[in-house]
Structure 1
Amino acid sequence: MANLRHILVVRLSAIGDIAMLVPVLQTFTKTYPHVKITVLSRPFVKPFFENMPNVSFFAADVNGIHKGIRGIYKLYKTLKDFHFDAIADMHNVIRTKILRSYFRFYDLKMVKIDKGRKDKRALTRPENKVFKPLERTHQRYADVFEKLGYPIDLYTHKFPERAPVSEKVSAFLKRHDIDLKRHTLIGIAPFAHYNSKSYPLDLMKEVILTLAKQPNLKLLIFGGGRKELTLVKNMIEGIDNASNVIGRIPFKEELNLIAQLKLMVSMDSANSHLAAMLNVKTVTLWGATHPYAGFLPFRHPLSSCLIPDLVKYPKLPSSVYGNVVVKGYEDCMRSILPQTVVAKVLENLK
């Protein structure tokens, strides 16, 4: 085992990838309580790492003072005074490569994540696919620590106790006539960064209509921004037992609300990982992407995933992130029937 005292862990985006880092750090801090961790990431994810022993947070303002090469140099000038023994680059993009280069004259160990790009290209190419499950991102993070001399076993991970309901969340629940003792809460996050990963809203409305009729179920719809807010309002208008969360409470309180859910229905998007890091079951719907690429929510089996008809759409997955769509595959998620989604939800509520 190495003799490191302070490790800088770098992951600047995206929110789902940062959320996947949480159970890895929880396992690390339990295994090596004498090692200090500083997480370098975007300011809004600071709540992810609060109350985590031996973990501090440094906010990178990549759109402000830390933007561009000069900004990264300013960031380096600040970070070098922390006297890190090692850097764990969990991102390995141009910005973090530049940051690492400034530390190259210091006596510290630096390890970057292996993203498995070659295997992911083989999985997503349209012809001659190598269709097999790849290493999950959580394990890729753990592999970085192992290369630093600190192996961890993610199977030993234990979730912390669920946070009590905050005052703001309690007020939100009261406004929507939700009693946690009487009602089962299901979150639904119908959006993703790319349309190729978003279940058609007309089908999602069928799912919501059916679930809303189940006894003692309350549905909470998650998303972000004005466009999604308008879509959600139109989708759930007139549906009892379905409530909009978008813009109603701050992000930190939203995490507290997610922690109270029994289950989250999500696309291959951040909300699935937010739920998983809070020990909430998820049912995920996949379109142009596939769980084999390694982005399954933490501790969730393949059976929790719903994917399009691969006989009808054999070139899937076409992308790791959802930014590549095969012509004629635009409606592939319509092969996931609403009754299939409802059945999977009810199965996971048992």
Structure 2
Amino acid sequence: MAHILVIRFSALGDVAMTIPVIYSLAVQYPQHEITVLSRGMLQPLFQGLPSNVNFVSADLTGEHKGLWGLNTLYSEVKRLHIDYVADFHNVLRTKYLRLRFRMAGVSVAFIDKGRKGKRKLVRRRNKVLENQKSSFRRYADVLEKLGFPVLLNFTSIYGEGKGDFSLIEPVTGPKNDGVKWIGIAPFAKHEGKVYPIELQEQVIAHFANCPDIKVFLFGGGAKEQAVFDSWMSKYPTVMSMIGKLNMNTELNLMSHLDVMLSMDSANMHLASLVNTPVVSVWGATHPYAGFMGWKQLPINAVQLDLPCRPCSVYGQKPCFRKDYACMRDIKPEQIIDKVEGMLLLSR
């Protein structure tokens, strides 16, 4: 039996994209032990995985901060008798950790992020619009380098079913026959990935006025709460989930949605992990960069063909046009039509 350490820190969406790969590894190599090293707040993502998957929390802003903290973290993980290290992140912290392991005779491999192809995709002139390898495939490539090739075969953290509805019904109320549930996650970290709020409200208003549809809003933070409060005062049938659910119950609720409407953000990936179809809205970024949600179809992405897009892999660059036309020129009707098409398929 071998012990495989998988390292991935970073943002929620990036870590969520490891789940289909780690699940496939665990199922196809049940004789081996797998330990995931990530930020503690993300542990709920891994609770539905096979029993040979364990989790170790890294406190990168506290106990494991800086070089001294990384040495402490290495010492803690080394006691687990690791045989292989799969670095799914390949940043300064993980480079140092895998160096320590390699010096101790442990086999290591790390992700190729494909930066060259992504630079060509987002450069200002002479863009090369080629679909880059997905993050799922890049993670799997790391395991193959270590001698553990995997067939990516994952449906949901709930298997073929959904989460236990009794755990969320006190918050959501019952799901009545004939009523469709839509989740809407209108925010993202960067402006280039956010559909303008005044246009998003038109989408909200449309579905809030449908008697056979219930809308749940997903987000977090004081600014987002203020927007949600404003919408709920205008549209009483809309429910905000801020502060009402933890990550476990939020995933549970997402599994009972008929469709999720999300930006290129973590909520797209969370819904993907529970086998819920997603209509995703793309502005500065593009599905070609390799970050489309698990088994989500490009046909369900709402985006405009503009010569300037994509201009960013992660969406953090300011718009050089100053108008974010890639988002502002998307008509609410385009999004509404796409969501309604998905609802028809779910009937």
Q: Same fold (TM over 0.5)?
A: yes
Q: Structure 1 residue 47 and structure 2 residue 44: aligned?
A: yes
Q: Structure 1 residue 225 and structure 2 residue 221: aligned?
A: yes
Partner of 1:173: 172
The letter of the residue matching 2:316 is N
Name the CA shift for 1:295/1:164 in 2 (closer, same or farther; >3 Å). closer
The one of 16, 24, 30 equivalent to 2:13 is 16
The one of 136, 144, 149 equivalent to 2:147 is 149
What's the secondary structure of 1:280's corresponding residue?
coil
After the TM superposition, which of the residue ranges 194-203 and 237-246 deviates more from structure 2?
A: 237-246
Question: Deviation digits for residues 278-329 of structure 1, max 9, x if unmatched?
Answer: 1111010011100000000011111010113x2xx31111111111133224
- Verify the 8 A CA contact 2:155 2:274 in the aligned structure 1: no
- Partner Cα distance (2:191, 2:259) in 1: 23
- Verify the 8 A CA contact 2:155 2:273 in the aligned structure 1: no
- Partner Cα distance (2:149, 2:341) in 1: 36
Q: CA deviation at 1:241?
A: 2.2
Q: CA deviation at 1:214?
A: 2.6
Partner of 1:28: 25
- Partner Cα distance (2:319, 2:253) in 1: 37
- Verify the 8 A CA contact 2:40 2:57 in the aligned structure 1: yes
After superposition, where does 1:209-220 map in structure 2 within 5 Å?
209-220=205-216
Q: CA deviation at 1:168?
A: 4.5
After superposition, where does 1:84-103 map in structure 2 within 5 Å?
84-103=82-101
After superposition, where does 1:226-241 map in structure 2 within 5 Å?
226-241=222-237
Question: Deviation digits for residues 157-216 of structure 1, max 9, x if unmatched?
Answer: 343133433554111012xxx425442211000000001100001111101111122342
Partner of 1:315: 308
Q: Structure 1 residue 299 and structure 2 residue 298: aligned?
A: no
Name the CA shift for 1:180/1:8 in 2 (closer, same or farther; >3 Å). farther
- Partner Cα distance (1:237, 1:114) in 2: 48
Q: CA deviation at 1:89?
A: 0.4
Q: CA deviation at 1:252?
A: 2.1
Aligned CA RMSD, in angstroms, stands at 1.4
What's the secondary structure of 1:276's corresponding residue?
helix
The letter of the residue matching 1:61 is D
Q: CA deviation at 1:237?
A: 2.1
What's the secondary structure of 1:104's corresponding residue?
helix
Partner of 2:338: 344
Partner of 2:319: 326
Partner of 1:286: 282
- Verify the 8 A CA contact 1:187 1:261 in the aligned structure 2: yes
What's the secondary structure of 1:139's corresponding residue?
helix
- Verify the 8 A CA contact 1:166 1:253 in the aligned structure 2: no
Partner of 1:113: 111
The one of 176, 184, 188 equivalent to 1:188 is 184
Q: CA deviation at 1:249?
A: 2.0
Q: CA deviation at 1:332?
A: 2.4
Q: Structure 1 residue 252 and structure 2 residue 228: aligned?
A: no
Greater than 4 Å deviation, 4+ residue runs: none
- Partner Cα distance (2:275, 2:25) in 1: 17
Count of residue pairs brought into register by the alignment = 340
The letter of the residue matching 2:296 is H
- Verify the 8 A CA contact 1:165 1:260 in the aligned structure 2: no
Percent of aligned pairs sharing the same letter? 41
What's the secondary structure of 2:63's corresponding residue?
coil
Partner of 1:75: 73
What's the secondary structure of 1:300's corresponding residue?
coil
The one of 273, 293, 308 equivalent to 1:277 is 273
- Verify the 8 A CA contact 2:185 2:263 in the aligned structure 1: yes
The letter of the residue matching 2:92 is I
- Verify the 8 A CA contact 1:124 1:319 in the aligned structure 2: yes
- Partner Cα distance (2:176, 2:137) in 1: 34
- Partner Cα distance (1:164, 1:252) in 2: 9
The letter of the residue matching 2:13 is G
Question: Deviation digits for residues 239-297 of structure 1, max 9, x if unmatched?
Answer: 13211111122222212111211111000000000000111110100111000000000
Q: CA deviation at 1:15?
A: 0.2
- Verify the 8 A CA contact 1:136 1:296 in the aligned structure 2: yes
